[in-house]
Each structure stands twice: as C-alpha cells, then as structure tokens.
Amino acid sequence: MTDKITGVRTAFEADLARASSESDLEGVRVKYLSRGGVIAQLFEEMKSVPPAEKPVMGKLLNALKTESQKAFDGKKAGASHGPAQGERSIDLTLPGRPRPLGRKHPLTQTIDEIKGIFTSMGFSVATGPEIETDYYNFGALNFPADHPARDMQDTFFISKNVLLRTHTSPVQIRTMQNQKPPVREIMPGRVYRNEAVSARSLVTFHQIEGLYVDQGVTFSDLKGTLVAFARQFYGNDVKFKFRPTFFPFTEPSADMYISCFLCKGQGCRMCKQAGWLEILGSGMVHPHVLQNVGYDPERYTGFAFGMGIERIASLRYGVDDLRLFYENDVRFLQQF
C-alpha cells in the first residue's frame, strides 16, 4: 500500500507539471482528485488493509490528498493570472528594456546657466506675479502715460489697470519696495507681448533681469559685471562693445554687443553680416525710479540689465526660428 501511495504521488506530480492549459488541469483533477479518481480509489482499498496498519496508511493517504489538492489549486491560480491563450509568457530571466530618460529643455538649461553665473557673483534670485498692475509694469518704471508700450498692440490688458507683464522689471520695483539697499537681485520669468508670432517674435517668452543698487554704484560696475557674465557664458576670447540707447527706466542706457562667435566678427547670416550680436539692454537706474520706491537718489545709485532667454539660447545654439523652442519636437530637443 505504501508503494501505491508513493507511485500515485509521483504520477500526480508529473501530470500536474505537464499540464499547460485549463483543459489539461481539468484532466488532472478528474484523474486524481474527483470522487472516482485515483486517490479516492486508494481510500476504498483501505478496507482491505490490516487493522494494525490502517492508522499509518490513513495518515499517508490524507497527506497525499491534502498536498495534491494544494498543489493543484496553486497551479490553477497561477494559470488564471498568466497570459491568455496564444500569448507569449514573460521570460523573467531576460534583461530589462531601458526606458529613454527625459532631459532639461534648452531654455531651462540656458536659464540655469545664467542664474549660476550671476549667483556666483553674489546676486540672489527674485520672482514676482505674471499678472501685474499698470503701476508696477509701467508707472513706477518711469513710462510716460502716452508711451507706445501702453498701447493694446503691445500689451495684453485684462482690464484698464491690470495686464500680463511685458517684462520682469516689475519684480525690481517690488523688490526695492520691500528691501533696503544694498539690493543685488536677478529676476527670471515668463513675459507676454501682443505681437505677431514669427521666427523672431513670440507672444510669450522668457527674460532675466538684474538689479544692483547701493551707495557708489557706477557705470563701470555695470560694464564689469556684464563683461564678466559674457566671458563666462560665451568664452574668454569674446569681444564686446556698448552702444547708447534709450529706456525709460535707466539713464544713461546702453545695449551690449558681443563679437559673433560663429564667424568671429567676419560677418555671417546669424549676425546679419555685421560681425556683432546684441545680447542685452542695460543702464543706470533712473533717479525717478529710485524715488518711486522710496530710495534717495542723492544717496543711492544702481544699474539694471535685461536679456531675452530665447534670444540668448538661439544665439548660443544657432537656432534661427524661436518657434522651435515651443513645438516640443523630440528630434529638436534631443540635440541639447
């Protein structure tokens, strides 16, 4: 009897291992675990076992039935959660398939690099709201009431006195109102202008502005700061020049140019054959602006500057259409 039990156990395990479908499993159940199955027949044969051996044989048979049922249930549960018929099962021994990782957008890379340069010079980072009032966006910055930038063709007005900021300069006003000199801040952020979308203009873009106000700040400090930035960002061999210009909130004002790093000043499509590239505007903070925030212009002076990130990035990477930065074309973004 012991040999029969051992033989049934071995045969059951072999048949269960070979079962690969629900019909195969049902066949194993009927053959071994049903009322007329092999294990049930062994219990019938217990009637002819000598009384002295029945306790031992009964224990072996009960163990066989319990273990066989448990093994069958486990195999059936695994089959119910496995692949559907006709599908391939997963080979867990195969190496994993690596997923492609994302990367920083080229505009984000440019912003981070510029922020890193100026914070190493001692500037802190300040931010402000993108929805502004007319006062912070224009009035406090010495824009006359009839200045063209107030016209609807340039500015998105939400109401008569509320608008989408056209530059990050309002953050300068808010910073100075809440902080006594010295002030040394940069202000990165998104700005909005009501312009036709083209390869060289967008309705929304990014700027970084800088502000330094303290006693004894001069135009030489402005030039030294911006030249140090240009050399770190574009390389030590870059040439530079400043050209007078006009901004309502600075006096004197100047645009900064660098030698074209593509043609080395010889003239090319990027610099329009001029050999020079304009990278930012700057100037000494206008005394009226200092008065508007409660600073004494007889005691304090300062400089400010601002640059468009899309322009800086396009010059840096040779991108001739600003719209490419916003189309989210993976082929374009993977180049950076």
pLDDT at site 75: 80
Block mean pLDDT (10 aa), the chain, length 336: 81 84 85 83 81 82 85 77 58 82 88 96 95 94 82 82 94 95 95 87 92 96 95 88 93 91 71 83 96 95 95 85 88 84
Which position has the token pair 């054959």?
273
Distance of CA 273 to the CA centre of its chain: 37
pLDDT at site 81: 57
Closest CA to 286 of 243, 245, 242, 252: 252
Predicted TM-score (pTM) of the model is 0.67
- Cα–Cα dist 167/238, whole Å: 28
Domain spans in the chain, listed from the N-terminal domain onward: 2-80, 106-333
pLDDT at site 128: 95
Q: How is 267-299 classified by DSSP, letter by letter? A: --TTTTTSSEEEEEEEEEEPHHHHHHTT--TTT
Q: Count H helices, E strands: the chain?
A: 11, 9
What number does CATH give the domain 106-333? 3.30.930.10
For 85-117, give one letter per residue: b (16+ CB within 10 A) or e: eeeeeeeeeeeeeeeeeeeeebbeebbeebeeb
